[in-house]
Structure 1
């Protein structure tokens, strides 16, 4: 029985719990916002909590100066902590989620939506509102005049999306990519 491990465990347990809760909350948010994809915009705070919790584990020391990382990460043969972190980080990266937000002067991710994202959302909301105005709840169908009446708004949205794709080399925040896919899907079935 090693007293040092007991002290380390008690001190680092708080960090481990924080990380477990942060990854769990992010995963729940990601699943909840998988269709339509709104993962980036809706889960940013959970993502930042995961980054903070992971960093805390890597930096924290117990009262005796022993690193929590040693017990919680280095001795973790299944790599549960790093596996969970890599899942969250990888999902965020695959979604190009950083592209939805502003970075601060140090290049650190913020929770402030980028100007491009804000403009895209404005154009999307205008298009969505226009299309919704032509929905008949009784017949659960759209009035055929939706195409004539909403074409300008849709074309503005699509043009801006094409500009974003071109200026970014085709790498866009998945929230934006999926929004356009959903709009196109619904317009094709009207």
Structure 2
């Protein structure tokens, strides 16, 4: 008890010790004003990207609507990796000294979400920056707009026949650019558009196909029944012929009599 009191007295008595402790705490919490500003920019960019992802989750327009906020996340993280103070990068202060690695975990989660949605396939990449819409995406949107224009200008009872060509073109092109072996075969925005198109087409047009199929099946069953009845009638109405009994020849009779002897 006495020793502890002496130690506390000596520490307090050392000139400037308290100020040094406060300064160390300040440096540990805020490496410098520049790094603090970069960290805040990363936090704001991550927050905007998260909000944008949720807002455009249904219908899925995530890749199209959140590309700028995604680029802001990447840029703000890269800035922390490039700049620093006293030959120390800001990322080293905020990541390598943090056991939880909060900054790194949030950044990795954002990148993983973007990659799982295959948003990069919607755009052309250049030096890890999304610069423009890819050719496949542009062509798909052209076919999709043609199909939707046909739907919008056609009457309900006529759209299946009039828009069949546009639907087949769109569906065939999607099958061409999509990888059917993946869970997400293409950029998620396009996948969701195609899923909605299939749902709409099956609801509006496949009912006519099912109606035709019912008529075909019923006709086939009727023909089968009539054929079976016809064969049954022929079987019962056909004149039965008595079996012909062949008389034995004299040679057979002599052979049988000789055998009895």
Task: Identify the TM-score tier after normalising by the shorter chain.
Answer: 0.7 to 0.9
Which structure is higher in RCO with an 8 Å CA cutoff and minimum separation 6? 1
Distance 2:52 2:91 in 1: 27
Question: Which residue, out of 173, 190, 199, partners 1:176?
Answer: 190
Q: CA deviation at 1:174?
A: 1.1
2:31 counterpart SS class: helix
Q: CA deviation at 1:31?
A: 1.2
The match for 1:118 is 138
Give a deviation string over 1:99-143, Cα, whole Å, max 9, x none: 111123x5x3323001110000111111122222347xxxxxxx1
TM-score, length-scaled by structure 1: 0.85
Q: CA deviation at 1:169?
A: 6.2
The match for 1:128 is 148
The 8 Å contact of residues 8 and 66 in structure 1, kept in 2 or not, is answered as no
Give a deviation string over 1:65-119, Cα, whole Å, max 9, x none: 3321222111222222112111110111101111111123x5x332300111000
The match for 2:40 is 17
TM-score, length-scaled by structure 2: 0.63
Question: Which residue, out of 106, 116, 127, partners 1:94?
Answer: 116
Give a deviation string over 1:42-76, Cα, whole Å, max 9, x none: 111111111111111222212x3332122211122
Structure 2 unaligned regions, length at least 5: 1-21, 205-261
Question: Which residue, out of 150, 169, 172, partners 1:156?
Answer: 169
The match for 1:187 is 201
Count, aligned residues: 179
The match for 1:138 is none
The match for 1:66 is 88
The match for 1:43 is 66
Distance 1:38 1:134 in 2: 26
Q: Which protein is bigger by CA-based radius of gyration?
A: 2
The 8 Å contact of residues 30 and 36 in structure 2, kept in 1 or not, is answered as no
Distance 1:34 1:25 in 2: 14
2:41 counterpart SS class: helix
The match for 1:31 is 54
Give a deviation string over 1:149-188, Cα, whole Å, max 9, x none: 211111110010011125x965411111111001111222
Distance 1:89 1:123 in 2: 30
The 8 Å contact of residues 44 and 111 in structure 1, kept in 2 or not, is answered as no
